[in-house]
Amino acid sequence: MARFPGIYVAVITPFKPDSSVDFPRLREHIDWLVSEGMHGLVPTGSCGEYAALTDQERAEVVETIIEVANGRVPVVVGAAAPSTAKAMGWIRHAKEAGAEGVMLLPPINYRPNRREVIAWYETLSGGGLPIIAYNNPFDTSTDLTPDLLAEMKHIPNLVAVKEFSGDVRRISAILDETELEVLAGTDDLCLESFLAGATGWIAGLTNVLPRESAVLYELAMAGQLEEAWPLYRDLLPFFRFDAQPRFVQAIKYAFELVGKPVGETRPPRLPLTEAEKAEVAAAFQRARQYTNVVM
């Protein structure tokens, strides 16, 4: 049975012009995502610029999102950290704050061997929250392949994987070789992932297109592919930014385009160039053709 069905938004962190966290805007954003039909929230992932937050900011972002969600949708907290002790600290904080689970990258500060990856998840399972392993071999040195995940099926709190390798063929292998739930992790492969067996979607670009994304998900789950494919094709040019390093900037610039600014990204992420802005604007305009669609 799926534990994390639906769309879980990897929530951006809004910043004020002075680069401090804009907590009032964050609260508004969470209310809007829930009202637009999102099924869950994932703060302090890469989309939330967790690595650019101080520990105090990171904790307050998590606490604010859980408070505003107020049980309306589950919150799964990004717990990535450079050491086992620090990751455990974020897991314990998430549990105390009321999170329903954590999303957890493998070790991020060096290239661990297979035994160390397994030990990482074994140890952090002791934090007492369900874990969604995050497979992102582009931003980490570890690839959580189906055979490696199969070696970890004994870990009690490891219940799902966010699959971001870009190879949808892996989904059936993971489902065959483990009991893990698979969540689509790449926005521009989400429909293919649903067809392959993914039951949920941890989405980035959905921050600014929640209603369109919700319609796509519902059509896919209902098997209404003739209706889903045209919508998906219009969303794809914008969704393709999800697999690019500038994906956070693309999301934040899209908010500017609709008159709901959420600030710039923090360095080392730099603002988009004018050429990049034009590219994002064109893709976003096409994606918004379905703004008025009713679920």
Residue at token pair 């949708």: 73
Identify whether 253 is part of a domain. yes
The pLDDT value given to residue 295? 35
Establish if 232 belongs to a structural domain: yes
- Which amino acid is residue 55, in one-letter code? D
Residue 73 lies in a domain: yes
Per-residue tokens: 109 = 């500060």
Q: How many CB atoms lie within 10 A of CB 59?
A: 17
Is there a domain that residue 113 lies in?
yes
* Integer CA distances (angstroms), 247 to 45, 67, 199, 239, 252, in order: 13, 27, 24, 9, 9
Spatial neighbors of 113 by CB under 8 A, at least 6 apart, are none
Chain position carrying tokens 């519902």:
218
Check: CB of residue 210 under 8 Å from CB of residue 288.
no
Residue pair 235/293 in contact by the 8 Å Cβ criterion: no
122: nearest Cα among 158, 150, 96: 158
45, amino acid identity: G
Q: Which residue has the tokens 């521009």?
A: 188
CATH of the domain at 170: 3.20.20.70
The answer to whether position 74 is within a domain reads yes
Buried b (16+ CB within 10 A) or exposed e, 254-290: bbeeeeebbbbbbeebeebeeebbebbbebbeebbeb
Domain membership of residue 295 (yes or no) is no
* Active centre residues (catalytic): 134, 162
- Written as six digits, the tokens of 81 are 């950290």
By residue range, what is the domain housing residue 111?
Answer: 6-290
Question: One digit per residue, pLDDT tens: the chain, 295 residues?
Answer: 689 999 999 999 999 999 999 999 999 999 999 999 999 999 999 999 999 999 999 999 999 999 999 999 999 999 999 999 999 999 999 999 999 999 999 999 889 999 999 999 999 999 999 999 999 999 999 999 999 999 999 999 999 999 999 999 999 999 999 999 999 999 999 999 999 999 999 999 999 999 999 999 999 999 999 999 999 999 999 999 999 999 999 999 999 999 999 999 999 999 999 999 999 999 999 999 865 443 3
In a domain, 1, yes or no: no
Number of domains in the chain: 1
State the SS3 of 209-268. Answer: CHHHHHHHHHHHHCCCHHHHHHHHHHHHHHHHHHHCCCHHHHHHHHHHHCCCCCCCCCCC
- 225 part of a folded domain: yes
**Residue 40 to residue 100: CA distance in whole angstroms:** 10
pLDDT of amino acid 289: 82
Q: How far apart are CA 21 and CA 17, in angstroms?
A: 9
pLDDT at 293 (0 to 100): 47
Partners of 132 in the beta sheet? Answer: 103, 160
* Stretch (H or E) spanning 69: helix 55-69
Quick check: helix, strand or coil at residue 142?
A: coil
